[in-house]
Amino acid sequence: MWIYGLKNLRFLTVNQAAIEKYGYSAEEFAQLTLHDIRPIADRQRLTEHIENSIRPLTHSGVWTHLKKNGESILVEITSHEAFYDNQEARLVISNDVTDKIEAELELIKAKERAEESDQLKTAFLENISHEIRTPINIITGFAEIITKQNLDEIKRNELIETLSKTSNRLLRIVDNTITLSQIETGQLRIIKLDFYPNTLLKNLYTEYESKKIALKKAHIELQLTINELNEFVINSDYARINQILDILLENAFKFTPKGKVEFGYYLSNDRLNLFVKDTGLGIPKNKQEVIFKSFTQADKSIRQLYGGLGAGLSIAIGLVHLLGGTMQVESQINEGTRFIISLPYTQKLRNKHDSM
């Protein structure tokens, strides 16, 4: 509580609570005006407010005040007409409502996050129903054709191959859904073992050299960048690192109509930096954070064109976090994208011909 003079807005007297709250002594308050406890941007508004609202009793709402140490607080102000020290003045009651307002803002943010989560989950359920229904219809239809129609061996083998690919696609959808659920509920276990990262990357290279034909991307160049001379062992989860890179490589091929996909690693201090780089469609700047949220893709039209749950990157970054690492994305539209996974590791020197 304080009293200030209307003529120059100087503090005429303050109570002990004001001294304790704002950090000024009574003598220091006597040298200050209302402007001195307001942010600079607020001072003109304060003058206009005082000129326009002088009434016997005024409730002027919530204002930002500055304490002596520079800390800002939110205060609810009520002032009364007064006559003090032979001059017109006002008696002010200031109530700190910082915690209350911050709690209200946090509730609003929590509500917005919950609504966003509901929207994402609704979109996911709609999408997964479509993604599952399509392969099930193919499997059911082709199985009926194989069992009920007379087919030559070539045609039968073609249908069996399609059934196999479709079944694998369905299995992948279910597996991704379960993995994402395990990550979000904290039930996924990390199992660490010693392995050569060069071996993991070479195996992926061999797999995708064959796989890119099935993906109808045989024209895309695949490049592996590793240090053949620096064979070393790390202790981490082989299967999960393989899964992360598999997700990123599949995305890279999916969204790269021409050019090159490159992957590999480089070392910096105590970090193993794995990367996957492509010359594909790229991701808009304003979408480079949202793509890591569950069930989202940078553009809904991309899902319609390329399919998929939009869960891959959510799984990847969830696994990266469980491994104690970070993931970042660098991208420009129509120029490509690079994902970098930075993982902590302890290098173990070992003869590359030793058994693991």
Which string of DSSP letters, residue by residue, matches 98-138? HHHHHHHHHHHHHHHHHHHHHHHHHHHHHHHHHHHHHHHHH
As to burial, measured by CB atoms within 10 angstroms (0-12 exposed, 13-18 middle, 19+ buried), residue 298 is buried
Give kind and range of the element (H or E) at residue 252.
Answer: helix 238-254
Same domain for 116 and 91, yes or no, is: no
Same domain for 15 and 61, yes or no, is: yes
Same domain for 241 and 312, yes or no, is: yes
Question: Considering just the CA atoms, what is the radius of gyration of the chain in Å?
Answer: 32
Cα separation, 226 vs 208, in Å, equals 16
Q: Is 352 inside any structural domain?
A: no
Q: Is 349 inside any structural domain?
A: no
Q: Is 353 inside any structural domain?
A: no
Structural domain total, the chain: 3
**pTM across the whole model:** 0.58
Same domain for 241 and 142, yes or no, is: no
Q: Is 43 inside any structural domain?
A: yes
* pLDDT tens digits in sequence order for the chain, 356 residues long: 999 998 888 999 999 999 999 999 999 999 999 889 988 877 777 767 666 655 555 666 788 899 999 999 999 988 888 889 899 898 999 999 999 988 888 888 888 877 777 776 666 666 666 677 778 888 888 888 888 777 888 888 888 888 888 888 888 888 888 888 888 788 889 999 999 999 999 999 999 999 888 788 999 999 999 987 777 888 899 999 999 999 999 989 988 999 999 999 998 888 899 999 999 988 888 777 766 665 444 445 444 444 444 578 888 989 999 999 999 999 989 899 999 999 987 765 554 444 44
Same domain for 115 and 206, yes or no, is: no
Last residue of a domain, one of 66, 96, 126: 96
Q: Is 21 inside any structural domain?
A: yes
Q: Is 53 inside any structural domain?
A: yes
Regarding beta strands 193-195 and 72-84, do their DSSP bridges make them parallel or antiparallel, or are they unpaired?
A: unpaired
In eight-state DSSP terms, residue 190 is P
Give kind and range of the element (H or E) at residue 65.
Answer: strand 57-66
Same domain for 79 and 108, yes or no, is: no
Cα separation, 208 vs 250, in Å, equals 9
CB distance 279 to 260 below 8 Å: yes
For 178, phi then psi, to 5°, come to -65, -45
Q: Which residue has the tokens 């058994």?
A: 355
Same domain for 199 and 334, yes or no, is: yes
Q: Is 146 inside any structural domain?
A: yes
- The H-assigned helical ranges of 149-234 are 153-184, 197-214
The CATH number given to whatever domain includes residue 172 is 1.10.287.130
CB distance 58 to 37 below 8 Å: no
Last residue of a domain, one of 53, 70, 96: 96
Same domain for 90 and 136, yes or no, is: no
In eight-state DSSP terms, residue 162 is H
Domain that holds residue 323: 193-344
Last residue of a domain, one of 150, 184, 218: 184
The region, left, alpha or beta by phi > 0 then psi within -120 to 50, assigned to residue 21 is alpha
**Residue 142 CB-half CA count within 13 A:** 19
Same domain for 314 and 292, yes or no, is: yes
Q: Is 64 inside any structural domain?
A: yes
